[in-house]
Structure 1
Amino acid sequence: MADIMTKSLALKIDDAELETAPASARIKLSGVPDDRAMLRAAAELTRDLHTPNKRIYWTDMLVSAGIGYAAFAATILAPTWPLALVAGVVAVLALYRASLFIHEITHLKHSLLPNFRLVWNLILGVPLLVPSFMYEGVHTMHHARTRYGTVEDPEYLPLALMKPWTLPMFLLVSMLLPVAMLIRFGVLTPLSLVIPPLRRLVVAKYSGLQINPKFSRRAPEGEFRTQWYWQEAGACIFSIALITAVATGVVSLHAFGVYLAVVAGVAVINQVRTLVAHLWENDGEPLTVTAQYLDSVNVPTPGFLAYLWAPVGLRYHALHHLLPSLPYHALDEAHRRISTALEEASAYHKANYPTLRGLMHRLAASTMGAR
């Protein structure tokens, strides 16, 4: 939810369309050595912050989902367009926050939050058509030291080095997410069960919230295979039931339209957040941990808007790349400790940015230079 979803279905971009800017315009992150003092401080100063608070997780997720679904119902039932619009915005923001717990599910040990993944999938993952198997096993590859920013990273494209039209396309893809997911689960899943070649394609290319079109996913194994199958079955049943209900008039076109709009709204906000989660300036070479950190973004300045567009700790995305298993509710304290302990010359302070608008302007300006 990217970051989320952190991502949407892979963009179908040909190799020719991945043309980047001249080498002279690129930032050579591959030459950045590790800042040992920063890495040591990040590990030592946060040793006591790694246990997730069950009360915070359950309360935040359930309250956000409750507000989101109540606002969704109010959007459908609102007597006037202004009221529907206000309720719709609340629904999008609340469900966006609730859906982003897919990111926490991917990183934390499930034994520390028993049944959290199950309940999240039942009330959010399946109804919003983003079950957690679409992110689990994919997002962790993005954090692999030897994969980040390379062709083997499912969640990375050198967006800052690409053509200007790639950014609007990136957002357009997210707007189509609910329709794409209805087709994926309601049509492709049942067909793939009887057409083995299609099944291999669905697993490899349409079973991950990824942005790298060259990435192919492997079939699930072990315990995760069971998780994958029941989640996919749930999303398939939900999709077929919804399509059938709309076709037979049980669910009105108005209600269905609101559903598509809300899910698309959640996906678009997440995609905007994804655009500023990194600087996207690596050209495919392996990076040190410090270089990966510098290609990522913190927006630590307190502000109401930051809590809306980057909730559940995602405004500390660079810090998250240093400490991937740190619970979201501990990131504020971790940032305070590390930034206080380290000098201004430390690499830690160089990944902090003041606003979403400034980051979007930087990315857009970089793509303009790629023309």
Structure 2
Amino acid sequence: MTVHDPVLAAAHRTPDAQARKPIPDDAAMLRAAAELTRTLSTANPAIYWPDFLASALLGYAALAGAVLFDSTALAVISGLVAMLALYRAASFIHELTHIREGALPGFRFAWNLLVGIPLMIPSFMYEEVHTQHHARTRYGTANDPEYLPLALMKPWSLPLFIIVAALAPIGLILRFGVLTPLSVLIPSLRQKVVAEFSALSINPAYRRRAPEGNFARQWAWQEAGACVFALALVGSVFAFGWKPLLIYMAVHSGMTVINQLRTLVAHLWENEGDAMTVTAQYLDSVNVPPPSPLAAIWAPVGLRYHALHHLLPSVPYHGLSKAHRRLIATLEADSPYHRGNYKGMFPLVGKIARSTMTRR
């Protein structure tokens, strides 16, 4: 779940940068990852449904409190709870892209109805996009919708990366409340909207194809729902004033900024466009395992194990911690697996920021 940012394309590193040596695959790590996790690939409805529903219910209850409380302190606290709970509920969009067909009946529909449409991030914006990020020949290349060599860009690219996320609610209202109805009337605009404004991606060069078959039907009702919600959201000003809309947008913006910070430290962003081995992809990605105390908050629903997820994309979020423990206990100390584990967000932000300082 990332925010499209066309301006960042101008921040790419200079062409005379030194090429990096290819990293070969580590057969022992890949074999262990496959063998030790065979029993962990089944999504458990008894975990998914309560986690998702409780997060959404808490988020909306807290959002209502932020609007209704007269006390500023209580309103701010409620707003923070809403932001974190809805962020967790929204993060299940990542699971939707990997869940096997039929594994969780009704989950995609429920998620879109309760979270995707009300937050204007329907799952079609991520489905058939995120899986390309996992493709063996796409990761880290110009064809990867979720990759930019951020560590090799100019210093101003990182604050810009976050600022764009803060403006996401405005962009989403324009996307669904303005561009959707206009594009229904203007075929040439529709082609542009589908190709350039229908993906939660960060690569400004990425263009997606028009949907087909059953996915096209899912896209249609999800987009229609988000359009109606965006128009109703703006229209609510006439019935309830500006306060509910501004609080909703503040919570949404905060949620998106946290996710963008999480995205910033999900990878080291050091690849310059060449295809990478699976081991190289792993080492360019990040785990923040326990005992890091806050990672479960800013990287919920298994996202703290992002590097491991690139090794095992079919393992559901509730199996990743067990998979990590098994691999840590089994692999030798010199295994590349251990080099993909980091202590927290701030050391990673510092590492990437220091790298950009050499690109002035």
Q: TM-score, normalised by structure 1?
A: 0.95
Runs of 4+, deviation exceeding 6 Å: none
Which of these residues, 131, 138, 145, is aligned with residue 136 of structure 2?
145
The equivalent of 1:276 in structure 2 is: 265
The equivalent of 2:89 in structure 1 is: 98
Structure 1, unaligned runs of 5 or more = none
The equivalent of 1:196 in structure 2 is: 187
Which of these residues, 35, 39, 42, is aligned with residue 44 of structure 1?
35
SS in 1 for 2:329: helix
CA distance in structure 1 between the partners assigned to 2:22 and 2:150 by the alignment: 20
The equivalent of 1:11 in structure 2 is: 6
Which of these residues, 228, 231, 240, is aligned with residue 219 of structure 2?
228
1:122-271 equivalences in 2 (<5 Å):
122-246=113-237, 249-271=238-260
The amino acid that maps onto 2:328 is S
SS in 2 for 1:257: helix
State the shift of 1:339 in Å. 1.2
The amino acid that maps onto 1:369 is T
Is the Cα–Cα contact under 8 Å of residues 88 and 262 in structure 1 kept in the other structure?
Answer: yes
Is the Cα–Cα contact under 8 Å of residues 292 and 344 in structure 2 kept in the other structure?
Answer: no
Q: Which has the higher contact order (CA 8 A, sep 6+)?
A: 1
| Percent of aligned positions that are identical | 59
The amino acid that maps onto 2:17 is A
The equivalent of 1:349 in structure 2 is: 338
Structure 2, unaligned runs of 5 or more = none
Paired positions, count: 360
The amino acid that maps onto 1:177 is A
CA distance in structure 2 between the partners assigned to 1:78 and 1:251 by the alignment: 15
Q: Per-residue displacement from partner, 1:283-340 (whole Å, max 9, x unpaired)?
A: 1000000000000000112243111101100000000000001000000100011111
Matched, 1:360 2:354: no
State the shift of 1:242 in Å. 1.6
Is the Cα–Cα contact under 8 Å of residues 11 and 170 in structure 1 kept in the other structure?
Answer: no
Which of these residues, 296, 301, 304, is aligned with residue 290 of structure 2?
301
Which of these residues, 309, 313, 317, is aligned with residue 306 of structure 2?
317
CA distance in structure 1 between the partners assigned to 2:73 and 2:15 by the alignment: 45
Is the Cα–Cα contact under 8 Å of residues 296 and 351 in structure 1 kept in the other structure?
Answer: yes
Greater mean deviation of Cα atoms: 79-88 or 225-234: 79-88
The amino acid that maps onto 2:198 is S
Is the Cα–Cα contact under 8 Å of residues 11 and 173 in structure 1 kept in the other structure?
Answer: no
The amino acid that maps onto 1:11 is P
Matched, 1:64 2:55: yes
Which of these residues, 285, 288, 304, is aligned with residue 277 of structure 2?
288
Quick one: structure 1 residues 21 and 329, their matched pair in 2 at CA, closer, same or farther if it must change by over 3 Å? farther
CA distance in structure 1 between the partners assigned to 2:8 and 2:347 by the alignment: 27
State the shift of 1:166 in Å. 0.5
CA distance in structure 2 between the partners assigned to 1:231 and 1:162 by the alignment: 35
Matched, 1:73 2:64: yes
